[in-house]
Structure 1
């Protein structure tokens, strides 16, 4: 078992009854944060893997009528943030990004210059592949979980929601 820590994005603030029920019955939820633009359930859980940790917690929270619509992540990042997350200098990351250092093939920015932003999921995967001593796999899994949850929420009311759900199995 591994301990995982993450925050789930809720569709809305739980009411008082739901808050009490979650606190009493979902021990992995260490706190609920709301009242602002985003409602969160903070989670610390031991599980066999990250997907199991997220899935079981989502199911437990939703049993009390509170929909989970995402997982809090920071996927869009700058060169400066990549440097911070990897312990490299900004210049080192810039040289990797421009292909002047390293194996080449660094992920392209997802926004244009002068404020280029990169997908941390893509950059972390590239770094894990080319620099295996640094493993960013959990970050990629967190972003994937966020996309799955958001996609599920967006398509929930669609008349063909089951067909959308099958997309994950192909």
Structure 2
């Protein structure tokens, strides 16, 4: 597989301290030494790793960034990945050749064959959808929309799941995964 440059942002478990920032800045670990991975500090939110890494896949790139970070500051770890999958129907219309009104009609079953993806969340009366799901649906209707990679969304879910380690009953999670048809050792 050819190497590709991956640009992504990882959300860390907390702010980077000044001592940790110094350790990252003076590190000889290649990803930090070459600037392929940089970080944010300050403000009320957690720090972020801004990554621009060459790798076979985005998952491999995230693994490299995480391993490099943990070699320098073991207490820091990514807990989520930022990705732009969540959209309103208006934002989705800007990514395809359909109008917002047409997408609203599809979502309400007023047009098309039905089966439009449901919102992933609704806040304050605004429904938010997965762009990857909408793109898959529109492609099934024959629209010429490039395939959307699910890899970064999967990385985000994996990081969020890993962040809950120690906060959940692993016996029940194993039973849940088994009930969903997954072998417990495969998780």
Q: Same fold (TM over 0.5)?
A: yes
**Residue by residue, what CA displacement relative to the aligned partner does 1:70-122 show, whole Å, maximum 9, x if unpaired?**
10124432111111233532123223322344443111123388422223343
Q: Which residue of 2 aligns with 1:154?
A: 164
1:122 equivalent to 2:133? Answer yes
Q: Which residue of 2 aligns with 1:63?
A: 71
1:134 equivalent to 2:134? Answer no
- Give the distance between the partners of 1:29 and 1:8, measured in 2 at CA: 13
Q: Secondary structure at the match of 2:122?
A: coil
Distance 1:2 1:16, change over 3 A: closer
Alignment of 1:27-66 (within 5 A): 27=34, 29-36=36-43, 37-64=45-72, 65=74, 66=76
Distance 1:105 1:22, change over 3 A: farther
- Give the distance between the partners of 2:109 and 2:117, measured in 1 at CA: 10
Q: CA deviation at 1:6?
A: 0.6
Distance 1:22 1:77, change over 3 A: farther
- Give the distance between the partners of 1:33 and 1:112, measured in 2 at CA: 28
Alignment of 1:62-141 (within 5 A): 62-64=70-72, 65=74, 66-109=76-119, 110-111=121-122, 114-131=125-142, 133-138=144-149, 140-141=150-151
- Give the distance between the partners of 1:31 and 1:58, measured in 2 at CA: 12
1:16 equivalent to 2:25? Answer no
Query: Which runs of 5 or more residues in structure 2 are unaligned?
Result: 175-182
- Give the distance between the partners of 1:30 and 1:16, measured in 2 at CA: 12
Q: Which has the higher helix share?
A: 1
**TM-score normalised to structure 2 length:** 0.71
The RMSD of aligned alpha carbons is 3.2
